[in-house]
């Protein structure tokens, strides 16, 4: 396993850019951003990747498609019937839920490959504010890096390489277009 990194930096050339560069230690890889670029004040459904510094909480993966990712982060195979609540106002907003679930949610066991590896971030978890965005993950990219709904996405090969460098101390830093450090990143 490689040496762990403290930060994964996400940068793009403009606020509305839907592609960026993820820097992990000494290597850089392309990444997809939200369809609305990046935003300081994330709102549910706005399609923006939230500017800020986020912890990496847990890796979920499809053990019917891939071997367990190598990482110092906690790892869990995705079970059928797992989802993530996206309904503002619901008591389980921005939390993992069991399906079927009565309100709006993501199915973690997707038919495509985007969540074959998906990393939960700390965005809007403590405190959890209704309507400030849910299911902001670090996951696998679509072909041609088409935009996400607000997540950060990379190729499978790059994800595996990055995760080998991550631990619970690693932070995902989504930089604003100005290049000024996100507020939580300033010392």
**Considering the domain boundaries, does residue 187 fall inside one?**
no
pLDDT at 180: 74
Residues of the chain under the 70 pLDDT cut: 1, 183-187
pLDDT of residue 1: 56
Question: What is the Cα–Cα distance from 103 to 105, expressed in whole angstroms?
Answer: 6
pLDDT of residue 184: 57
Q: How many domains does the chain have?
A: 1
Q: Is residue 46 part of a domain?
A: yes
Cβ–Cβ under 8 Å, residues 139 and 113: no
Instruction: Give the structural domain span for 81.
Output: 7-178
- CATH number of the domain within which 64 lies: 2.40.440.10
The answer to whether residue 185 is domain-embedded is no
φ/ψ (deg, to 5) at 106: -95, 140
Residue 71 lies in a domain: yes
Q: Is residue 155 part of a domain?
A: yes
Residue 2 lies in a domain: no
Does some domain include residue 74? yes
Q: Is residue 186 part of a domain?
A: no
Give the model's pLDDT for residue 187. 40
Quick one: which of 127, 116, 129, 125 has its CA closest to 66? 116
Half-sphere exposure (Cβ direction) of 129: Cα atoms closer than 13 Å: 9
Quote the CA–CA distance of 101 and 117 in Å, as a whole number: 22
Tell me what pLDDT residue 178 has: 73
User: What's the pLDDT score for residue 183?
Assistant: 64
Q: Which of 19, 20, 46, 47 is closest to 34 using CA atoms? A: 47
CA dist., res. 124 & res. 76, Å (int): 21
């Amino acid at each position: 396993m490689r040496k762990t990194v403290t930060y994964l930096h996400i940068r793009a050339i403009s606020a509305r850019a839907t592609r960026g560069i993820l820097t992990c230690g000494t290597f850089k890889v392309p990444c997809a951003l939200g369809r609305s670029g990046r935003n300081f004040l994330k709102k549910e459904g706005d399609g923006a990747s939230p500017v800020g510094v986020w912890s990496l909480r847990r890796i979920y993966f499809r053990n019917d498609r891939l071997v367990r990712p190598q990482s110092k982060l906690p790892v869990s195979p995705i079970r059928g019937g797992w989802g993530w609540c996206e309904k503002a106002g619901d008591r389980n907003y921005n939390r993992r839920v069991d399906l079927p679930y009565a309100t709006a949610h993501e199915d973690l066991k997707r038919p495509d490959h985007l969540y074959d590896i998906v990393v939960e971030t700390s965005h809007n978890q403590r405190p959890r504010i209704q309507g400030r965005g849910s299911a902001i993950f670090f996951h696998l990219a679509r072909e041609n890096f088409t935009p996400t709904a607000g997540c950060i996405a990379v190729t499978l090969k790059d994800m595996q390489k990055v995760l080998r460098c991550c631990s619970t101390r690693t932070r995902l830093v989504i930089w604003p277009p100005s290049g000024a450090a996100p507020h939580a990143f300033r010392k």
